[in-house]
Amino acid sequence: MPRENRAGPAVRSDLEIVPTVYDGEEAFLIRDGLGLIEKPIVVQREALAVLGLLDGSRTALDIEAELVRRRGGELIGASLIEELLESLDATHVLDTPRFRRARRKLIEEYGRAPVREAFLAGQSYPAEEKALRDYLRGVLADGAKAGSPADPERTLALAAPHIELQTGNRVFGRAYASLRGLSPDIIVLLGTGHSLQDGHYSLTDKDFQTPLGRVRTDQACIAALRDAGGPTVAPSDIAHRREHSLEFQILFLQELFGRRFSIVPVLCGSFHAELGRAARPSDIPGVDAFTGALREIVREGGGRVLCVAGIDFSHIGPKFGHRDDAAALLAAASRHDGALIEAARRGDVAGLWALTRKNGDRYNFCGFSALATLLEVLPEARGTVMAYDFWREEPTRSAVSYAAILFERA
């Protein structure tokens, strides 16, 4: 009698699963940008083998049979597999009705919140105002020693890192010290939406709270973008809840400009599914209208509008899916970064797109969608590279590159 055809459990597609070593053994670290998994989970040994089989096509019996086959006929108790699956489900690792209910509840609760609270205060930077101001002023003072301020009459945008502050403080400092002397009324923030799944962009009406105070969002601009973007804008703003790529930028902007500006916070989702079908963001239905509306906001604002993109470049090594260590990839990744930065510097959004498509984004360019959007919105911008660096994470044999680029009117 044929076995019933039914789907099996699957690991959530939105989790970050990072290879690591735990107690001297191969393991995976599971992180959840959505936040249902509060602390990273370490998975190893038998659980590691099971995790690799959870693709939605296998039942618990299929998984048991496959593990027995891999072990040369050694039996495994079906109850152990069931217990493991229940544990993974209870911790929201699996895409199940339990997870979807929890996700829906989290989205609804966050949607009712009036303010986006600082998520990384006390973790990535001081939670106390004076300590944070002292830290930011130190970073900016060091950055000011490396160059002169930008021309307020010509400055259009800044690309700064979104890597951890302590790691990238030299490049953060060089980036934001260049903005001394500017006085924008509106700042358009473009960040990488690391957990954004259901749209090319995510907007939020929420004000942003940090230890330095509350930053207002520009409701009129956000409404115009939401109307223009239609279905390309995610239906909820949950992607903003734990996202750091905008949070870090806001701290420096508050220190530089106080409370006199409002923000238009935009998280950019992946464009990778469109690489083979489009030659630039404006070729994507919906994205063209969104970037056009954003371009109009900048144009109407004249010199009162500043754009800031929080982006990183290459992510290389086993932590990011490569078989080779970062050391073996570093030279090639740096050359590729150089080509991407040169395209950005020229304002060549089609060139940036073509470079990413050509190598299939082999080096995991984290800021691709945000930088491509910036170039689409500011066709007249030309960039100056102020700093570039790599951070190496020795325990995972991986690395991340990042840069500071100032864009001025050609």
Residue 277, SS3 per DSSP: coil
Which H or E element spans position 31?
strand 25-32
User: Residue 1: pLDDT above 70?
Assistant: no
Give the distance from CA 176 to its chain's centroid. Answer: 20
Mean pLDDT of 200-220: 98
Mean pLDDT of 182-207: 96
Can you give the pLDDT at residue 155? 97
Can you give the pLDDT at residue 5? 44
User: Residue 4: pLDDT above 50?
Assistant: no
User: Residue 48: pLDDT above 80?
Assistant: no
Topology of domain 15-107 in CATH is Arc Repressor Mutant, subunit A (1.10.10)
pLDDT band at 199; cut points 50, 70, 90: very high
**What count of other Cβ atoms lies within 10 Å of the Cβ of residue 99?**
18
117/85: higher pLDDT? 117
Kindly write down the DSSP assignment for every residue of 339-389, as one continuous string. HHHHHHHHT-HHHHHHHHHHTTTTT--TTHHHHHHHHHH-TTEEEEEEEEE
Can you give the pLDDT at residue 122? 97
Tokens of 90: 């209870």
Side chain identity, residue 277? R
pLDDT band at 45; cut points 50, 70, 90: low
User: Residue 279: pLDDT above 90?
Assistant: yes
Can you give the pLDDT at residue 196? 93
Can you give the pLDDT at residue 65? 85
How far apart CA 272 and CA 140 sit, in angstroms, is 35
* Tens-digit pLDDT profile for residues 215-272: 999 999 999 999 999 999 999 999 999 999 999 999 999 999 999 999 999 999 999 9
Q: Which residue has the tokens 């911008």?
A: 381
Can you give the pLDDT at residue 368? 97
Q: Over pLDDT 70: what percentage of the chain?
A: 97
Q: Which numeric CATH code is attached to 118-409?
A: 3.40.830.10
Residue 9, SS3 per DSSP: coil
Can you give the pLDDT at residue 17? 83
Mean pLDDT of 60-88: 80
**What count of other Cβ atoms lies within 10 Å of the Cβ of residue 23?**
8
For residues 400 and 322, is the Cβ–Cβ distance under 8 A?
Answer: no
For residues 20 and 101, is the Cβ–Cβ distance under 8 A?
Answer: no
* Tens-digit pLDDT profile for residues 98-115: 999 999 999 999 999 999
Can you give the pLDDT at residue 78? 67
DSSP 8-class letter at 278: -
Domain boundaries, the chain: 15-107, 118-409
Tokens of 87: 């544990």
The mean pLDDT of the chain is: 93
Q: What is the CA radius of gyration of the chain?
A: 23
From residue 375, give the alpha-carbon distance in Å to each of 82, 153, 154, 277, 325: 50, 19, 16, 19, 32
* Tens-digit pLDDT profile for residues 395-410: 889 999 999 999 999 8
Can you give the pLDDT at residue 26? 78
Which H or E element spans position 25?
strand 25-32
Among 222, 201, 203, 136, which Cα is nearest to 370's?
Answer: 201
Cα angle at 34 between 120 and 319, to 5 degrees? 80
How far apart CA 376 and CA 38 sit, in angstroms, is 36
Which distant-in-sequence residues (6+ apart) come within 8 Å of 72 by Cβ?
A: none
Mean pLDDT of 319-335: 96
Residue 346 C-beta-side C-alpha neighbours within 13 Å: 10
How far apart CA 287 and CA 377 sit, in angstroms, is 11
Can you give the pLDDT at residue 2? 41
* Tens-digit pLDDT profile for residues 14-38: 898 887 778 877 788 899 989 999 8
